[in-house]
Structure 1
Amino acid sequence: MRHLRRRSGFVLVAGTALTLFASACSSGTSPNSSSTQVSSGSASDSAGVAYASKQVSLYGAVPTFKTPGPPVDVSKVKGKSVFVIPLVPNPFNQSIQNTMQYLANKAGIKYTIYPNQGLVSQWVQAFNQALAQKPDLIILSTAPDPRELQPQLRAAKAAGIPVLVTHFYDESSPAPPKCLACGAGVTALETAPFYRAGRAEADWMIADSGGKAHVLIVSSNDILPSPPTVAVIENELKAHCPGCTYTDVNVPVSEWNTKVGSTVSAQLQQHPDINYVDCLYDAMVQTAVPGVQLAGKAGQVKVVSYNGSTFALKYIQDGNVMGMDVGEPTVWIGYAVMDQAFRILSGAGALPNETTPIRIWDKSNIAQAGTPPSLTQGYGNAYVAGYDKLWSVTWPGYTG
């Protein structure tokens, strides 16, 4: 028999956020809150562990390439121009953008990027400069929030300049103009596997614990996909792990450096049965790991997360509290972005969506990420031949 005790309305809010995000009707964030599932366990425990183990095996393997759409004539994009506005400079984003620039150069596209520190005022300034230059395509890369750029998007639409938004929306999002804040002038998306990664995190904890995971989920509800991703993790635990429990807390992005570690430490002391800390984004891990150590729980608690940043993978390699990270292939993402760009620039028309795979990294396969780990290793290179075939080119694969 399963029991659910709510100390607040977060589960309802998160479920509502998932519905609203999918329908692109509205947006919002949840306040600091938490919920716990408690179960007496049942004969279905073993079935849940078997299911989760199968998912872990699937996502722990080298990803395969799936053709995203019909071929595109890349020769038609020569001489075109793109203006790229990135989110913030970090190794993950820069690897994607370096790949984009490499492919743009190969295709004969003029590539302009506007470096910034992630301030809305800088995004506005960059967008206004792009409008003045009149490129053939504007790319919001990894991605400045379209909700903050509504006047600029309307201006781009009026000027006939298409806008591609990358790695901001989950892959379940509807295509423009129905996606959230897209109606003003977003043309196409390259999406992120936020919810798929959340399910993979939950499955790994179920399998690793033998169906006895007691999870602290550390979220940031001011990031658009966070509340629904929390709901995905909790729903996966509820569906496949009667013996699992969870507690969730919210730490805003602006407080990651100052609050994640102390929050984790306090929660571990308040809930001594917690044996997994699931940080939604691995940028939190650098302070979450010391939080586990401060609570005296190293060796008893494992941290799991998402993104595949090299420092987090190094923690796994060193056996330093980190148990698993769901990684994304940054070079592959760059190829997917430019596939959408080529389709728009060539006149073929964008795909409804273009997304990329994930890979679970843990002690069983972390050596394949390189020593020390690299953003570009361990994902195979099937996508290079796959995209070359789509584009009718034979370009050397970008290696970072």
Structure 2
Amino acid sequence: MRAKSSAPRRGSDARGGLPRLSGRTVAACASAIALVSVAACGSSSDSPSSDKPQTANVTAVKAALAPYTAPPTAFPVSEPLAQRLAGGKKFVYLQCSTPICAAVGLFVQQAVGGIGGTYTVVNAGSTAQTAQAAASSANALKPDAVILGAIDPALFGGGLKKLSQDGAKLVSLQVAKDVKPYGITFNYLGQDLSQRNGKLLADWVIARKGAEADAVLYTLPALDISAPLQKAFQAEMKANCPSCKVRAVPVDVATIGTTAPRTIVTDLQGHRSTNTAVFVSLSAAGGLPASLKAAGLSVTTVGFGPTAGNLQDIKDGKLTAALNIDFPVSTWTAVDAAARLLGGAQPTASEQAGVVPEQFLEQKDITFDPTRGWSAFPDYAPRFAKLWLTP
């Protein structure tokens, strides 16, 4: 079986090359590249009636999963810049309040340095007030390019459009809406990625549990990725396992790393038949293994965008699996797209198509140092240097 970055590819080693990050720092931006907007949420149930046959289309879901179960080898960018970007271009990163946004910021800084630009981070928080203040601060810096990840552009009011009108190129990561009205020049990894991930997580549950699946999806309504992922997850579960039980429970993003494990354990104690816990962002499972053990609970776990701590828990057998996006490569790709826009060109066809390396990681796959995170391409920096015509 092979892994996928939106196109079929074969195996590759993934070792080293990434900066050490804390367990709360590396996650979902989901890419992140994760990114904040208020999305619809709620709790739902899709329980089978007693007269429904207990069936699951396991063969179909295993076929759908196959491209994502081994490391990718298709690097998402292959075309070099037409000419090297002039040195000293000002890049500003509008950083949301989640740990994954901080992780993405480190990779943005790394990429900007690699392309010869200057980097400034401006904290955008998670409210309209903080976001609009951040846009104003960013505009005062007179940036050439602005990167923002998975934060709802509506929070910025007219701030992003003002940046665009003043000449900045704006690149967003995984925003699940039409970004043009907000002045954003290009959105890399839009709603399609969240929808695909929702389907893949559902397929993983069905492949693992069959018709006996009794799953809960822990959503994060404040994240832009949450609503489309939830919708796709529930639809795929219904399509391929109509007898499976599915419900959704929202988790406050502000409780990640604090009280989220208690919320999850309390929910599982009230639903003893649940055998699989699925996470819109696996970062919400930080600290969960200890809480499960203390409560005498055992469930299969899987989620998108693991932190370094989540990866360590998977390696130790305390969490089951993660659907991981290649955060370093996806973030550097966003900077690549910004550089092309600054040079008067358009993002590459693969960037516009949302090509990105992804893989399901289980215990057997964590052969790298979890504190450094995961990349299918540990040599991503020299790869981009060649594309950017830098020494």
TM-score bracket, shorter-length normalisation: 0.7 to 0.9
- SS of residue paired to 1:169: coil
Pair 1:37-2:31 in alignment: no
- Shift of the 266–129 alpha-carbon distance from structure 1 to 2, 3 Å rule, reads closer
Larger displacement relative to structure 2 (307-316 or 131-140) = 131-140
Which TM-score applies when normalising by structure 1? 0.76
Structure 1 vs Structure 2 CA RMSD:
3.0
Larger displacement relative to structure 2 (36-45 or 275-284) = 36-45
**Do 1:330 and 1:375's aligned partners in 2 also have CA atoms closer than 8 Å?**
no
1:18-73, Cα deviation, whole Å (9 max, x unpaired): xxxxxxxxx9644642212316665863xx22222333332121123254575422
Matching of residues 95-106 of structure 1 within 5 Å: 95-106=103-114
1:181-232, Cα deviation, whole Å (9 max, x unpaired): x413111112263222222222221122244211011112233331221111
- Shift of the 31–105 alpha-carbon distance from structure 1 to 2, 3 Å rule, reads closer
Larger radius of gyration: 1
Give the distance between the partners of 2:256 and 2:116, measured in 1 at CA. 41
- Shift of the 222–86 alpha-carbon distance from structure 1 to 2, 3 Å rule, reads closer
2:340 aligned to which of 335, 343, 350: 343
> Gaps spanning 5+ residues in structure 2: where?
1-36
Pair 1:149-2:149 in alignment: no
Larger displacement relative to structure 2 (70-79 or 246-255) = 70-79
Q: Give the aligned partner of residue 314 of structure 2.
A: 316
Q: Give the aligned partner of residue 185 of structure 2.
A: 187
Q: 1:276 Cα deviation (Å)?
A: 0.5
Q: Give the aligned partner of residue 281 of structure 1.
A: 281
**Do 2:115 and 2:385's aligned partners in 1 also have CA atoms closer than 8 Å?**
no
Q: Structure 1 runs of 4+ off > 6 angstroms?
A: none
Q: Give the aligned partner of residue 73 of structure 1.
A: 82
Give the structure with the larger helix fraction. Answer: 1
**1:164 partner amino acid:** V
Q: Give the aligned partner of residue 175 of structure 2.
A: 169
**1:305 partner amino acid:** G
Give the distance between the partners of 1:28 and 1:266, measured in 2 at CA. 25
**1:358 partner amino acid:** E
**2:231 partner amino acid:** A
Q: 1:79 Cα deviation (Å)?
A: 3.6
- Shift of the 188–258 alpha-carbon distance from structure 1 to 2, 3 Å rule, reads same
> Gaps spanning 5+ residues in structure 1: where?
1-26, 174-178, 396-400
Q: 1:285 Cα deviation (Å)?
A: 0.4
Q: Give the aligned partner of residue 6 of structure 1.
A: none
**1:159 partner amino acid:** D
Q: Give the aligned partner of residue 18 of structure 1.
A: none
Give the distance between the partners of 2:256 and 2:290, measured in 1 at CA. 13
Q: Give the aligned partner of residue 306 of structure 1.
A: 304
**1:343 partner amino acid:** R
- Shift of the 145–239 alpha-carbon distance from structure 1 to 2, 3 Å rule, reads same
Which TM-score applies when normalising by structure 2? 0.78
**2:65 partner amino acid:** V
Q: Give the aligned partner of residue 236 of structure 2.
A: 236
Give the distance between the partners of 1:375 and 1:133, measured in 2 at CA. 32
**Do 1:104 and 1:110's aligned partners in 2 also have CA atoms closer than 8 Å?**
yes
**2:330 partner amino acid:** I
1:49 aligned to which of 58, 70, 87: 58
Q: Give the aligned partner of residue 227 of structure 1.
A: 227
Q: Give the aligned partner of residue 92 of structure 2.
A: 83
Pair 1:369-2:368 in alignment: yes
**Do 1:336 and 1:355's aligned partners in 2 also have CA atoms closer than 8 Å?**
no
Give the distance between the partners of 1:206 and 1:67, measured in 2 at CA. 29
**Do 1:279 and 1:306's aligned partners in 2 also have CA atoms closer than 8 Å?**
yes
Give the distance between the partners of 1:126 and 1:30, measured in 2 at CA. 25
- Shift of the 83–49 alpha-carbon distance from structure 1 to 2, 3 Å rule, reads same
Give the distance between the partners of 1:223 and 1:250, measured in 2 at CA. 11
**2:293 partner amino acid:** Q
- Shift of the 337–29 alpha-carbon distance from structure 1 to 2, 3 Å rule, reads closer
1:122-158, Cα deviation, whole Å (9 max, x unpaired): 4333322222232212222x24431111221232233
1:160 aligned to which of 142, 167, 170: 167
**1:35 partner amino acid:** S
Number of aligned residue pairs: 349
**2:131 partner amino acid:** W
Query: How high is the sequence identity, in percent, across the aligned residues?
Result: 23
Q: Give the aligned partner of residue 356 of structure 1.
A: 356
- Shift of the 319–69 alpha-carbon distance from structure 1 to 2, 3 Å rule, reads closer
Q: 1:309 Cα deviation (Å)?
A: 0.8
Pair 1:59-2:78 in alignment: no
- Shift of the 210–364 alpha-carbon distance from structure 1 to 2, 3 Å rule, reads farther
- Shift of the 125–30 alpha-carbon distance from structure 1 to 2, 3 Å rule, reads closer
- Shift of the 127–268 alpha-carbon distance from structure 1 to 2, 3 Å rule, reads closer
Give the distance between the partners of 1:363 and 1:129, measured in 2 at CA. 44
